[in-house]
Structure 1
Amino acid sequence: MQACTIASCLQFNIALGEIKTNLKKAEAAIRQAADQGAQLAVLPEMWSCGYDYRRLPELALATPEVVDRIGRLSRETGMVLVGSLPERQGDAIYNTAYVIDRGEVVGTYRKLHLFSTMREDRFLTAGDTTLVVQTSAGRLGVAICYDLRFPELFRKLALDGAEIICLPAEWPKPRQEHWRTLLRARAMENQLFIAAANCCGIQDRLDFFGMSLLIEPRGDILAEGGENDTVLTARFDYALMEDYRQQINCYRDRRPEIYGHLP
């Protein structure tokens, strides 16, 4: 295990349906994170276009080009980039997070839990597999936005060896305290690091509060965004994680024979 990972969250106002505009914002934020020494950068959910539902089949056609373009920037900076984009396969559209390590796509994760309150299930298809992948920035698990409300997913990622969970999101007002509380709880109960990148600003009728977070295994917040575009950076120290797991050994003290094994 490496000694640490310098991680960043890239928070910005996503222009609905405007891929070129959002790509420029993302590239500028990635370069800023690189200047801050980041090895890992997490972008928001659906960062290329937002939830422009009716145009998603069209907008998803640009995703391979978007991935290729930020892949070149990943290679240039030597960084691992994680963020979700619309992925089209046949007639299905997925909300897919791409993990790009120094120019190569080393893993993809399709959002498992679709937020029916916002009609995601009418326009998107849910994924059916989880992802933990070894990268140059550490062993990463990936979840997306509403997934945060399902602790069993995070426990599975932890049991599969995730050191950092990356969570792209579009989490709107007025549920700021749900966001903060759930993220801290997921970090504490699984004793790992979390890098959660939310968007900010107004899209259509939704107001996004930002508040991207970098959290360590004790639940302490290392960096937190406000409500405007920003790049947050913090150091994830793996020795701290190992020490904390030794102090409170939740993994050894689990009783899966009582409450059931995760599949």
Structure 2
Amino acid sequence: MNIILLQTDIQWQKPNENRTHAETIIDTLPQVDLVILPEMFTSGFCMTPSDIAEKADTDTLHWMQTIAEKKNVAIAGSVSVEDGGKYYNRFYFVKPDGSYATYNKKHLFTFSGEDKEYAAGDERVIVEYKGVRVLLQICYDLRFPVFSRNRGDYDMIIYVANWPTVRIDAWNTLLKARAIENLCYVAGVNRVGNDPGNSYNGGTVLLDYMGKTIVAAEDGLENAACGNIDIQILKDFREKFPALNDADKYRIIN
């Protein structure tokens, strides 16, 4: 599977401009299977969702479906949405035929007050696309390995993020840890630029199941990094090195 990780700057609370900007970049890209955008790519990491949240399954989702169909590509990223009177940081994974999966961020970033404005999801979401089973995760989820522990049910994790420069070493380290401990590919897509509270330098990367870099975006700049994952190579490695079979048995009690 060929994947583009789109490391963009995000204009603060300007969804139309951000969608247009992303589409302009996507139009210049080669044909691939999947394009991944950052967390809250239409607004930035905004803690006043009443100002920017979209109704569920409307503006940005329809835009993603249009892009997916036009380009024959899957497209992924998270958006602030209002659904049933609650706000969610919602990850959309949209396939070329317009079908889609959603994941509501489970681990809300209390340090910024996200837990006071958004409702937490409680479902672990895996989507299958072109023979690849993909676990959907958002930013702060990266710090909680139990929730994302591979039960033999996925091949790649996607983390979309607004992860600030001041904590970027944690981002770099934890992405590698998640790849190694779960014997899976990891795509981490972060933004660049500034919002009213933080600066961001990227760190967007695609890792293999040993934590080795397949491709990385250039830090501090908007750019698209294109890399390939091979599921057969992953399966062969898991058969030769069956560490997942030795994992501790447990269950999560909410």
**TM-score, scaled relative to structure 1:** 0.90
Aligned to 1:180: 172
Q: Tell me, which stretches of 5 or more residues in structure 2 are unaligned?
A: none
CA shift digits 1:53-110 (9 cap, x unpaired): 33x2242236611211121110111111110001101331100001100042321000
- C-alpha root-mean-square deviation of aligned residues, in Å? 1.7
Are positions 1:168 and 2:160 aligned together? yes
Shift of 1:117: 0.5
Q: Tell me, which stretches of 5 or more residues in structure 1 are unaligned?
A: none
Looking at structure 1, the residues matched to 204 and 110 of structure 2 have their Cα atoms a distance apart, in angstroms, of: 23
Instruction: Decide which moves more: 58-67 or 80-89.
Output: 58-67
Aligned amino acid, residue 98 of structure 2: E
Are positions 1:249 and 2:242 aligned together? yes
Aligned amino acid, residue 211 of structure 1: G
Aligned to 1:22: 18
Aligned to 1:209: 201
Aligned to 1:135: 129
Q: Spell out structure 1 runs of 4+ moving beyond 4 A.
A: none
Aligned amino acid, residue 172 of structure 2: R
Query: Among residues 9, 12, 37, which one is paired with 1:13 in the alignment?
Result: 9
Looking at structure 2, the residues matched to 261 and 52 of structure 1 have their Cα atoms a distance apart, in angstroms, of: 33
Percent of counterpart pairs with the same letter?
Answer: 26
Aligned amino acid, residue 197 of structure 1: V
Aligned to 2:223: 230
Change (3 A) 1:51 1:26: same
**TM-score, scaled relative to structure 2:** 0.93
- Is 1:193–1:216's contact at 8 Å kept on the other side of the alignment? yes
Instruction: Decide which moves more: 130-139 or 212-221.
Output: 130-139
Aligned to 1:96: 90
Say which structure is richer in helix.
Answer: 1
Aligned length: 251
Aligned to 2:81: 87
Shift of 1:139: 1.6
Aligned amino acid, residue 159 of structure 1: R
